[in-house]
Amino acid sequence: MADVEASVRDRINGDRDCTEQALAQLDLRRKINLLIGEWKAAGGGDVLPDVHDQVRLRLVKTVGIPGRAAMRR
C-alpha cells in the first residue's frame, strides 16, 4: 500500500495523471476496511497497530546509544 501511495504522490508532484494509481489505492483501502470489519465480526477487539507507532519504535531501535533508546520509550 505504501508503494501505491508513493506512486500517487510522485505523479501528483510531477503534475501527471494519477487516476489509475489513486483508484488502486482506494481499492486497497476498501479491502483493508473489509478485513478489519471481518476481524471485528469474528471477535477481534484488540487495538490494531498504528503506522506511527511502528515508525516510532523503528526509530528508537536504530538509535546508536542503548541508554538513550530506553529513555525515549
Classify residue 72: in a domain, yes or no: no
Classify residue 18: in a domain, yes or no: yes
**What's the confidence (pLDDT) of residue 50?**
77
Classify residue 59: in a domain, yes or no: yes
Range of the domain at 17: 1-64
Classify residue 69: in a domain, yes or no: no
Classify residue 70: in a domain, yes or no: no
What's the domain count of the chain?
1
**What's the confidence (pLDDT) of residue 51?**
75
Helix (H) or strand (E) holding 18: none
Nearest by Cα to 56 from 72, 32, 38, 44: 72
pLDDT, mean of each 10-residue run, the chain (73 residues): 88 93 94 92 80 69 57 51
Classify residue 73: in a domain, yes or no: no
Residue recorded with cell 505523479? 11
**What's the confidence (pLDDT) of residue 61?**
60
Nearest by Cα to 8 from 22, 27, 26: 22
- Dmax (CA) for the chain in angstroms is 48
Classify residue 71: in a domain, yes or no: no
**What's the confidence (pLDDT) of residue 49?**
74
